[in-house]
Structure 1
């Protein structure tokens, strides 16, 4: 475990994801399309245990993301995070937040211009939901939807985003601009895997290795093209310096294969003729 931030681990007989990894994003509307974006993900989980029985009394998760961009890219630097929290509580029982590392109110924002609709938010929230379901009996704190969070264009998308995870809302208006999710347990949350259709989790080391390989390959191809261009320029200079000699030489090289074939054919005819004559 030389680089623990990039290595997966084990927890409760299950494999855990690395602390830092890469997401490769493809166009969700074009299966098998070229990659459109890369995100660097950092996963932070914190647990506070009871000194008496070593049980978990508080926990939190934060998935920070940042878009990987070429130097001098025209795209703006985009980054943010999704988070969740757990508290064992006291008289009211344990609670889960899907939007905050504490049990206070939180919010979900995805700041990735140009990447709307590529299921990145679904991926991040699914990680929070999957983490939260380890406390099946915990009560999920209500998620509040506000009118200012969405316009007519993306309101339905916002509502479907939460509803796909099992949240059911009491909407305050007929147009479903505002609402509060109904009480539910973490066990009732639904994991979503539609993101797998266009998002791939990658080991950072493998990702960097492929980048270096492509760089070396491109460098080799560039070198070969450079040599080919140099040979072509040299040939052009020879043609310009002695055009008649260059043209005659090209004609000669073009007909050499034909001359060779004729010579072989004549040789075979001569062998046959000499054989017949010797009889």
Structure 2
């Protein structure tokens, strides 16, 4: 059955999120970017090759693409992807690469997107996919010393992988480089802490909301242009007829004063009439 990438896929326990969705990332109050909101477009693509005799999956690939909608220009939107690969024949799964040939690693770019749990969100998609084959060994993840340029980054990077159940054999006492230990896909851990900062939106509703905001902004802009034109005409009138403008402005803005003045004038005139 053909289904839309904008709708949830499957039913019951096999039901999963739409393949295309929008993420709203709100920075937590105590972060350096507190109050900032980023919008990320995400697309999940999966390719499965099945054995024609048993219908079992013997090879699979997953890519989770993302685009930074809050940065760049309309013709140059920053993007990236997280990858996963499964091969039954070679009995292996990679949660960081599109093949089993090398031990990979992941990185969120551009750097401005780091610290909002986006990497955790994307990696969790890969891990959840890999757990379909629980008895399959996970290909090692390689940590490079160059990715740990300061202690805080090193701790953050190592903790990122460890949350998903990976353990490492490090090559130095600072734990800046190393290789993950053997683990079966079923022992990987899914992580949901990304929900602290990330809200998922389906694309049609996101576009509808964006269009509504644009329409509201257009109405506001139209009213501002109208108000500006009225103010401009008022200034031109004031330049050409200053006395008339002052009088009209006083009449518009001081109705109570006008009423008192009129009553006073009438009263004075009436008194003078009686004295005569």
Instruction: Quickly name the TM-score band, shorter chain normalised.
Output: 0.7 to 0.9
Q: Report the counterpart of residue 101 of structure 2 in structure 1.
A: 104
Equivalenced residues, count: 259
Over 3 Å counting, the alpha-carbon distance change for 1:169 and 1:250 in structure 2 is: same
Over 3 Å counting, the alpha-carbon distance change for 1:253 and 1:147 in structure 2 is: closer
**Structure 2 alignment gaps of length 5 or more:** 263-276
Distance 1:251 1:143 in 2: 78
Over 3 Å counting, the alpha-carbon distance change for 1:2 and 1:255 in structure 2 is: farther
Q: Secondary structure at the match of 1:5?
A: coil
Distance 1:172 1:50 in 2: 41
Contact 2:72–2:78 (8 Å) recurs in 1: no
Deviating more after overlay: 80-89 vs 148-157: 148-157
Q: Report the counterpart of residue 89 of structure 1 in structure 2.
A: 89
* 1:59-138 alignment runs, 5 A limit: 59-68=60-69, 72=73, 77-89=77-89, 94-105=91-102, 106-138=104-136
Q: Secondary structure at the match of 2:226?
A: helix
Q: Report the counterpart of residue 268 of structure 2 in structure 1.
A: none
Moved over 4 A (4+): 29-35, 69-73, 257-261
Cα-to-partner distance string for 1:170-219 (whole Å, 9 max, x where unaligned): 11211111112122222221111121122222222222222221111111
Q: Report the counterpart of residue 165 of structure 1 in structure 2.
A: 164
Contact 1:20–1:43 (8 Å) recurs in 2: yes
Over 3 Å counting, the alpha-carbon distance change for 1:255 and 1:21 in structure 2 is: closer
Q: Report the counterpart of residue 240 of structure 2 in structure 1.
A: 241
Deviating more after overlay: 24-33 vs 177-186: 24-33
Distance 2:11 2:89 in 1: 23
Distance 2:63 2:71 in 1: 26
RMSD value, Cα: 3.0
Contact 1:26–1:35 (8 Å) recurs in 2: yes
Q: Report the counterpart of residue 265 of structure 2 in structure 1.
A: none
Contact 1:28–1:119 (8 Å) recurs in 2: no
Contact 1:44–1:63 (8 Å) recurs in 2: yes
Q: Secondary structure at the match of 1:6?
A: coil
Distance 2:239 2:39 in 1: 50
Q: Secondary structure at the match of 2:113?
A: coil
Query: How far apart are residue 35 of structure 1 and its match?
Result: 5.0
Distance 1:70 1:112 in 2: 9
TM-score w.r.t. length of structure 2: 0.81
Query: How far apart are residue 257 of structure 1 and its match?
Result: 4.7
Distance 1:82 1:228 in 2: 50
Query: How far apart are residue 30 of structure 1 and its match?
Result: 5.5
Query: How far apart are residue 258 of structure 1 and its match?
Result: 6.6
Contact 1:24–1:37 (8 Å) recurs in 2: yes
Query: How far apart are residue 42 of structure 1 and its match?
Result: 1.9
Contact 1:28–1:117 (8 Å) recurs in 2: no
